[in-house]
C-alpha cells in the first residue's frame, strides 16, 4: 500500500518487556481483562480515554454517589472490561485532576441492560453535562456484580471509594 499511496513505512524494532514482546494485541487483551497494571506497563503510561457527559437516570445522586455517564465519541476506542476502577479525571481543557471511581457494565443491581460507563468524581458537585472528561484508568478494584438491593450496593460503593482513594494516594509504578 505504501507504494500505491506514496507513503513510507518504517519498521520499528520489537519492544520486549520481561521476556514478553509488547504488541497492540497484548495491550487490548490486558485492557479487556481489566488488567490495567499490565496495560500501563506495556504502554509506558496509564490507559486513558475521553467521553462526553450525558444525562442518566440520576440513581447515583440519590444514593450519595453521583455519576457522570460517559458517551464515547469514537466507536473504535477500546473501553476496558466490565468492572469497577480507580481513576483520575480531568474536565474539558482544565489541568485540574480529580480522583474518582468508575463502573463499566450493565448495572445488574438496578436491572440495567445497556453497557454504560459511569464515573463518580470524589468531592465534586457540579453539573457537567456535555463536558468532555479525560479518564485515566489506573487500578481495577473488582468485577461488576449484582447486589441484593440498592442498600447493599451503597455499602459496597463506600468500600470501593475507600479503596480507590487509598490506591490513588500511592505512587504509580508503571
pLDDT digits (tens, 9 = 90+) for 75-102: 889 999 999 999 999 999 999 999 999 9
Number of CB atoms found within 10 A of residue 74's CB: 9
In a domain, 105, yes or no: yes
Domain carrying residue 90: 46-168
Residue that has been written with the C-alpha cell 499511496 in this structure: 5
In the prediction, which pLDDT does 62 show?
79
| 159 part of a folded domain | yes
Split into its structural domains, the chain has a count of 1
User: Could you list the mean pLDDT of each consecutive 10-residue stretch along the chain, which spans 174 residues?
Assistant: 87 66 85 95 94 86 89 91 97 95 91 89 94 97 93 95 94 54
Residue 90: its H or E element: strand 83-91
Report yes or no on 31 lying in a domain.
no
On whether residue 118 sits in a domain, the answer given is: yes
Give domain status of residue 28, yes or no. Answer: no
Whether residue 23 lies inside any domain: the answer is no
Q: Is residue 15 part of a domain?
A: no
* Single pTM value for the model: 0.86
Question: For residue range 26-46, what is the model confidence (pLDDT) as tens digits?
Answer: 899 999 999 999 999 989 999
Q: Is residue 116 part of a domain?
A: yes
Q: Where residue 101 sits, what CATH number does that domain have?
A: 2.40.30.30
**Bridge partner residues of 87 (DSSP):** 100, 137
pLDDT of residue 110: 82
Given a contact cutoff of 8 angstroms between Cβ atoms, the answer to whether 87 and 124 are in contact is no
Q: Are strands 47-54 and 68-71 parallel, antiparallel or unpaired?
A: antiparallel
How many other CB atoms are there within 10 angstroms of residue 152's CB atom? 13
Amino acid at each position: 500500500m505504501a507504494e500505491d499511496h506514496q507513503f513510507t513505512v518504517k519498521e520499528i524494532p520489537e519492544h520486549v518487556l520481561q521476556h514478553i514482546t509488547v504488541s497492540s494485541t497484548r495491550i487490548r487483551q490486558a485492557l479487556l481483562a481489566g488488567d490495567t497494571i499490565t496495560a500501563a506497563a506495556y504502554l509506558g503510561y496509564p490507559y486513558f480515554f475521553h467521553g462526553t457527559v450525558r444525562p442518566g437516570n440520576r440513581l447515583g445522586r440519590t444514593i450519595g454517589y453521583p455519576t457522570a455517564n460517559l458517551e464515547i465519541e469514537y466507536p473504535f476506542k477500546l473501553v476496558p472490561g466490565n468492572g469497577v476502577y480507580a481513576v483520575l479525571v480531568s474536565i474539558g481543557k482544565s489541568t485540574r485532576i480529580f480522583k474518582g471511581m468508575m463502573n463499566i457494565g450493565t448495572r445488574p443491581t438496578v436491572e440495567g441492560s445497556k453497557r454504560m460507563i459511569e464515573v463518580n468524581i470524589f468531592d465534586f458537585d457540579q453539573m457537567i453535562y456535555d463536558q468532555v472528561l479525560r479518564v485515566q484508568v489506573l487500578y481495577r478494584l473488582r468485577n461488576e456484580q449484582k447486589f441484593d438491593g440498592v442498600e447493599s450496593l451503597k455499602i459496597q460503593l463506600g468500600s470501593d471509594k475507600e479503596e480507590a482513594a487509598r490506591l490513588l494516594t500511592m505512587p504509580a509504578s508503571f
